[in-house]
Amino acid sequence: MRMRYLAPFVLSTFFFAACGGSDNSSEKKDTAASSSNEAPADNSMVKAGAAEAAASKGAELISKSDCLTCHKVDMKVVGPAYKEVAAKYEANDANIEMLASKIIAGGSGHWGEVPMQAHPNVSKEDATEMVKYILSLK
């Protein structure tokens, strides 16, 4: 459970560090000439928030669907732990596409005897967001 919140946090820290680095160097140059060095810092806050929102979209979709009855982030329940799924598949387009189709159509035989039921009400777009989130849990 904790990882659901940790993953976006780690992502946004990353983002922050990247932005912070470049802001600092331009700030140093600007400080003597102007005192507007607050502006770049505010920008990076906005961007970090946006990155967090994107990363947690899949998590939110998962929490609204029935997935969590059978899956936990770091523990096998009926289905495999999401971290195990993330460890098994590289996060490339082909795998994301394949796993998103499996969520919709159902799947079996990859993790044991128990099949995953189909989710015909989940759109391809939503399933893709879910898979992107799951595969980010490495």
Q: Spell out, one character per residue from 88 to 127, where the chain touches ligand HEC: x when CB under 6 A holds, - when not.
A: -----------x--xx---xxxxxx-xxxx-x--x-----
Of 22 and 108, the one with the shorter C-beta distance to ligand HEC is 108
Where are the alpha helices (H) located in the chain, listed in sequence order? 2-33, 38-64, 82-88, 93-105, 124-135
The span of 2-10, 11-19, 27-35, 79-87 binding ligand HEC (CB under 6 A) equals 79-87
Q: How many CB atoms lie within 10 A of CB 71?
A: 20
- Rule CB under 6 A: say whether 67 interacts with ligand HEC: yes
Q: What are phi and psi of 71, to 5 degrees?
A: -125, 135
* Residue 133: closest CA among 83, 66, 94, 98: 83
- Applying CB under 6 A, which of residues 69, 74, 92, 123 lies at the interface with ligand HEC? 69
Q: Any bridge partners for residue 105, and if so which? A: none
Amino acid (one-letter) located at 67: C
Q: Spell out, one character per residue from 30 to 49, where the chain touches ligand HEC: x when CB under 6 A holds, - when not.
A: --------------------
Q: Any bridge partners for residue 116, and if so which? A: 107
Rule CB under 6 A: which residues touch ligand HEC? 62, 65-67, 69-71, 78-80, 85, 99, 102-103, 107-112, 114-117, 119, 122, 130-131, 134
